Amino acid sequence: MDLNCAGIKLFSLERHKKRFKYQVNLRMYCITNHINGGMLHANN
């Protein structure tokens, strides 16, 4: 087993997880923002 290759795979997996987490956070932020916007709109 090539350690260098395994290291690169692990590194790209970590990067992928970070990107995924970022996308999820962004989506959650958009949903929250949308809900808050809806609440404000309903209150007015």
pLDDT at 3: 67
pLDDT at 42: 62
Q: Quick one: DSSP state of residue 2?
A: -
- Residue with the bigger pLDDT between 16 and 8: it is 16
Residue 2 has pLDDT above 80, yes or no: no
What is the residue extent of each domain of the chain?
20-44
pLDDT at 43: 58
Catalogue the E-assigned strands of 1-44: none
Distance between CA 19 and CA 44 in Å, rounded? 37
- Residue with the bigger pLDDT between 17 and 44: it is 17
What integer is the mean pLDDT of 12-26?
A: 86
